[in-house]
Amino acid sequence: MEFSIYRFNPDTDREPRMQAFTLDDAMVEPGMMLLDALILLKEQDDSLGFRRSCQHGVCGSDGMNINGSNGLACITPLSKLKTPIVLRPFPGMPVIRDLIVDMDNFYRQYREAEPWLVNDTPEPEVENLQSPADRERLDGLYECILCGCCSASCPSYWWNPERFLGPAALLQAARFIEDSRDQDTERRLERLDDAYRLYRCHSIMNCTQVCPKGLNPAKAIGDIRRTMIKRSL
Amino acid sequence: MNITVRKFDALIIGAGGAGLRAALQLSNADARVAVVSKVFPTRSHTVAAQGGVNAALANVLPDSWHWHMFDTIKGSDYLGDQDAIEYMCRAAPKVVYELEHFGVPFSRLDNGTIYQRAFGGQSQNFGQDQAARTCAAADRTGHAILHSLYQQNLRARTHFFDEYFAVDLIKDDQGYVLGVVAFEILTGKPIVIEAKTTLIATGGAGQIFRTNTNALSNTGDGMAMALRAGVPLEDMEFVQFHPTGIAGRGMLITEGARGEGGFLINGEGERFMERYAPKVKDLASRDVVSRAIAVEIREGRGCGRNKDHALLDLRHLGADTIMKKLPGIREMTLTFLGLDPIEQPIPVFPTCHYSMGGIPTNRDGQVVVPVKDTPEDPVPGLYAAGEAACVSVHGANRLGGNSLLDILVFGRAAANHILEYLGENPHHRALPQDSVDRALERLARWDREGEGEAVEPLRRELRKVMEDHCGVFRTAEVMREGVAKLQTLRERIDQAVIRDHTQTFNTARVEALELENLWDCAIATMHSALGREESRGAHSRVDFTERDDERWLKHSLYSLQDDALDYKPVRTQPLTVESFPPKKRVY
């Protein structure tokens, strides 16, 4: 099985290059994921850099660009990929080394969304109550694993990473706006009501297409907009 | 060498649930706290916990902390320390309510309270009817908890060192632990993080076994650091094999799947757990269910062409329950097996899941070691919590839903004790240069160039040795061979080299250091298992099939420096209630 992998090490390279790797077909087992292959390729060349941890799509470490589309290596079956498999770091994010990108700005935008519950009423001795229907409104929002696949596939985020929060952070914003226990809705909406932070989203939908968890940031962004309009009326 | 030094009141190594719960407590109390993690915090393995966290909230069925305590002690096969268990079970409702206030999106019951499901080993009224004690956010409870804790730490402005690798503890000649030598993975630059207290919250060492449910990063770094700092590890022979890892792959299928009503079948289509645990069947303790599957397969009643696994059947639960309560496991079986549990049963096999053992602590999270006649003398400035620690609330076998509880209760308790300690020890002590130098030497050792074996094949071999020689069923002869193989491996690891000697984000170096940590944990496990001549909880000896309370109702302590085992008594005296004396375990 053939691979073509983006290589760049700032310590030794001036320019990035694509390096060909071959994985012996005998080593390719049925059901094997791309991450399994990468680990075997790293045995051939231990300088090949990529992040990984949980191996089943919940920690969000191994996001990368796979044959032109962002995804998680650990839940991408080799059998579904055309060869040579072309692997690049996320587009639009600064490359640290090989497939490893600098996600500082991505995390900064996440923090900008103030992703924590705000509730200033005196704490009850037991749980806050929430109806199953209210809780269901968080489904599709809270499951984000911060892998970055969405924001790194969003042209608006590529062009304005400093000012546009990007789909991942906006999904978080929606998660707290929708939470019946949160009391900061008004201020959250005000903070987002900005030509860049929210409104740079042009509904290109790449985010939704690539999300490895099947979430729909585009819809969440649309819902925030609708809530804003309703409030302004 | 000119090396950066940063100073904090409290240092936390590891950003999973235990580390982040402690960090939050400390930040909220205005302590200067630093969290060092080799991965971005939300990538920590707490994120993978599925089923839930136990607390006697009684939202679904009657419950009490005292029943929870009884179940935990019975589950531990009476090796758990009863004072710590009482403390944990009493604290459970409070820490779960706190989590809810932090924003954790728990699933809900119709009356708006937190959803609770049945899990293995839970009972009402000291062993009577099944209880429903596990608080859940669908089957993504760990994710929900870890993300909420991280978010609260952002709000509290905790200081994070993301993607820094902790190499070794700094310890002075009076035994005080004063921080850690680490390096920034991004630049390769070493750093000294000085702190008045250090909390190890680095999680387990599941990667010592070939097939496991754990993240690749679960390499027992903190346990190994403690060993090298002269702290023995406690009860390392007790490794939990989860009954329902995906066969051949290891990914976890939550016990919640059986809690919701799923059951196991063998190759003859029989619900075999009825024979092993007539009363609670598929919801017996994990050690019992794992052994039952292993026995079924060994006696030729496995499923599939090679009769090498059991099947977990959820079909009768219906699409609605599966989609609402177990969406994550459905997603996983679809991804990894191309199988929909609504239509087909899932092939499962017992898979290494959890280290019951770890760094010995008291219930305040202080690391305790034997000194002369005292079995539990605190190491000043050193704390541990979560899977890295052994407090010991899990004893010989952990109940499902008690690990998330453990990290929350003891992460919090450790932080509270740290605050006390900081009050009494307001000043930094002098930094012992020799201790820093030793850690830097360990780091520099991997700069060696030239010929030598590579890291990855050695890691694979180590994991295979553990699986073959220290698996579900153990004998002295096989384990003795295992010890010898590990010793040979150690010599080879000492000669191994990495090819990549660049500085920027060098993952080869990280993996090399992890391999050394894995070996330290592996040898502790193998020796402790060989030492314990009885069967108890997760430790099954073919040559000593019975539990032997007369000789073995005690904790093992393995010391790396002396390469020797020591033992200390189990704390059978609870805090306020009567002790639960050992009884035969029947489920």
Res. B329 pLDDT band, cuts 50 70 90 = very high
Statement to judge: residues B206 and B146 lie in one domain: yes
pLDDT greater than 80 at residue B1: no
Same domain, residue pair B122 and B213: yes
| B193, B35 Cβ separation under 8 angstroms | no
pLDDT the model gives residue A30: 84
- The tokens of B366 are what? 């202080």
Statement to judge: residues B320 and B447 lie in one domain: no
Name, in order, each residue with C-beta under 8 angstroms of A78's C-beta and a sequence gap of 6 or more.
Answer: A1, A28, A32, A33, A34, A36, A37, A85
Domain count of the fold of chain B: 3
B393-452 residue pLDDT tens: 999 999 999 999 999 999 999 999 999 999 999 999 999 999 999 999 999 999 999 999
Q: What is the 3-state secondary structure (H, E, C) of B390-401?
A: ECCCCCCCCCCC
- The domain that holds B296 is classified in CATH as 3.90.700.10
Model pLDDT for residues B466-488, shown as the tens digit of each residue: 999 999 999 999 999 999 999 99
The verdict on B485 and B498 lying in the same domain is yes
Interface test with B, best of A8, A41, A51, A59 (most B CBs within 10 A): A59
Predicted-complex ipTM score: 0.98
Chain B neighbors of A124, CB-CB under 8 A: 97
| Residue B582 in domain | no
What pLDDT does B123 receive? 97
Average pLDDT over residues B72-95: 98
Instruction: List the domain range (segments joined by +) for residue B298.
Output: 246-352
CA-to-CA distance for B545 and B547, rounded, in angstroms?
A: 7
Q: Please report whether residue B48 resides in a domain.
A: yes
List the one residue out of B46, B21, B244, B259 whose CA is nearest residue B134.
Answer: B259
Among candidates A52, A8, A68, which has minimal Cα distance to A147? A52
- Cα-atom radius of gyration of chain B, to the nearest Å? 23
> What pLDDT score does B214 carry?
96
Q: Which residues contact B345 (CB under 8 A, 6 or more apart)?
A: B265, B311, B312, B313, B314, B315
**Out of B35-39, B99-103, B368-372, which region has the weakest mean confidence (pLDDT)?**
B368-372
Q: Taking phi first (over 0 means left), then psi (-120 to 50 degrees means alpha), and beta for anything else, what does residue B67 get?
A: alpha
CA distances from B269 to A17, B141, B272, B273, B302 (A): 55, 32, 9, 12, 10
Q: Are A127 and B113 in contact (CB < 8 Å)?
A: yes
- In a shared domain, residues B156 and B288: no
- Pairing mode, strands B564-569 and B554-559: antiparallel
Name the band, by pLDDT with cuts 50, 70 and 90, for residue A231.
confident
Overall average pLDDT of the B73-102 stretch: 98
Question: Does the CB of B544 have a partner CB in chain A at under 8 Å?
Answer: no
**Phi-psi map region of B230: left, alpha, beta (phi>0 left; psi -120 to 50 alpha):** left
Does B346 lie at the interface with A, CB-CB under 8 angstroms? Answer: no
For B22, B95, B198, B328, B495, the CA distances from B28, given in Å and listed in that order, are 10, 16, 18, 33, 47
Chain A segment 87-116 residues within 8 A of B by beta carbon are 96-97, 100, 103, 107, 111, 114-116
Cα dihedral value A76, A79, A81, A82, nearest 10: 170
Residues B576, A60: Cα–Cα separation, whole Å:
44
Q: Do the domain assignments include residue B361? A: yes
**Beta-carbon-side half-sphere exposure of residue B202 (alpha carbons within 13 Å):** 33
Tell if the pTM clears 0.80, that is, is over it.
Answer: yes
CB B37 within 8 A of CB B226: no
Query: What is the mean predicted confidence (pLDDT) over B50-67?
Result: 97
Find the closest chain B residue to A120 by CA distance: B101
Asked if residue B521 belongs to a domain, the reply is yes
Between positions 25 and 84 of B, the ones with CB within 8 A of A are 39-40, 42-45, 47-48, 57
Is residue B553 in some structural domain? no
Give the integer Cα–Cα distance in Å for A50 and A142.
26
Q: Give me the pLDDT at residue B73, please.
A: 98
pLDDT digits (tens, 9 = 90+) for A68-117: 999 999 999 999 999 999 999 999 999 999 999 999 999 999 999 999 99
Q: Please tell me whether residues B230 and B118 are part of one structural domain.
A: yes
Q: Which of B43, B148, B186 sits opposite A96 (nearest CB)?
A: B186
Which of B413, B433, B453 corresponds to the end of one domain? B433
Report the CATH number that the domain containing residue B512 is assigned in CATH.
Answer: 1.20.58.100
Taking a C-beta distance cutoff of 8 angstroms, is the pair B337, B329 a contact? no
Contacts with A28 (C-beta within 8 Å, 6 or more apart), sequence order = A1, A37, A78
Q: Are residues B159 and B49 part of one domain?
A: yes
| pLDDT score, position A71 | 98
* Pair (B114, B208) in one structural domain: yes
Residues of A in contact with B456 (CB under 8 A): 39, 42-43, 46
Residue B577 lies in a domain: no
Helices (H), B45-81: 65-75
- Check residue A68 and give left, alpha or beta (phi > 0: left; psi -120 to 50: alpha): left
How many whole angstroms separate alpha carbon B366 and alpha carbon B470? 30
Q: Has B463 been annotated as catalytic?
A: no
Question: Does the structure show a pLDDT above 80 at B253?
Answer: yes
Closest chain A residue to B107, measured at CA: A135
Q: What does the mean pLDDT of chain B come to?
A: 97
CA dist B225 and B222 (Å) reads: 5
| Coil/strand/helix, residue B196 | strand
Q: Which of B133, B124, B130, B120 is nearest to B92 (CA)?
A: B133
Q: Which domain-ending residue is among B433, B467, B482?
A: B433
B190: domain CATH number is 3.50.50.60
Would you say A146 and A110 are in contact if contact means Cβ atoms under 8 Å apart?
yes
User: Is the torsion defined by CA of B446, B447, B453, B457 positive or negative?
Assistant: positive
The first and second tokens of residue A61, run together, are 């470490």
Length, in residues, of chain A? 233
Is B505 close to A100, i.e. CB distance below 8 A? yes
CB-CB under 8 Å, A142 with B147: yes
- Identity of the residue numbered B278: P
For residue B252, the cross-strand partners are: B245
Question: What tokens does B127 get?
Answer: 């062993």
Tell me if B550 is assigned to some domain: no
Measuring CA to CA, how many Å separate A89 from each of A16, A73, B35?
A: 11, 12, 28
Cβ atoms of B278 and B310 within 8 Å: the answer is no
Please report residues of A whose CB lies closer than 8 A to that of B100: 127-128
**Which residue of chain B has the CA closest to A39?**
B456
Q: How far apart are alpha carbons A183 and A173 in whole angstroms?
A: 13
**Tokens 């002369």 belong to residue:** B372
- Of the partner residues B97, B112, B144, the one whose CB lies closest to the CB of residue A142: B144
Measured CA distances, B10 to A26, B24, B258, B434 (Å):
51, 12, 41, 22
CA distance B582 to B76: 10
**Measuring CA to CA, which residue among B260, B272, B351 is closest to residue B311?**
B272
Same domain, B194 and B251: no
Domain end (from B393, B414, B433): B433
DSSP bridge partners of B183: B165, B190
Residues of A in contact with B336 (CB under 8 A): 31, 33, 56, 75
A157-187 residue pLDDT tens: 999 999 999 999 999 999 999 999 999 999 9
With contact defined as beta carbons under 8 Å apart, do A70 and A90 qualify? Answer: yes
B331-388 pLDDT, tens digit each: 999 999 999 999 999 999 999 999 999 999 999 999 999 998 888 999 999 999 999 9
Same domain, B183 and B327: no
Check residue B111 and give its pLDDT. Answer: 98
Check pLDDT > 80 for residue B91: yes
Shared domain for B196 and B123, answered yes or no, is yes
Mutate to test the interface with B, among A74, A76, A117, A183 (most CBs of B within 10 A): A117
Structure tokens belonging to residue B548? 């032997």
pLDDT digits (tens, 9 = 90+) for B164-185: 999 999 999 999 999 999 999 9
Between positions 378 and 437 of B, the ones with CB within 8 A of A are: none
State the residue for tokens 């071959």: A22
Assign A232 a pLDDT band (cuts: 50, 70, 90). Answer: confident
Residues B452, B319, single domain; the answer is: no
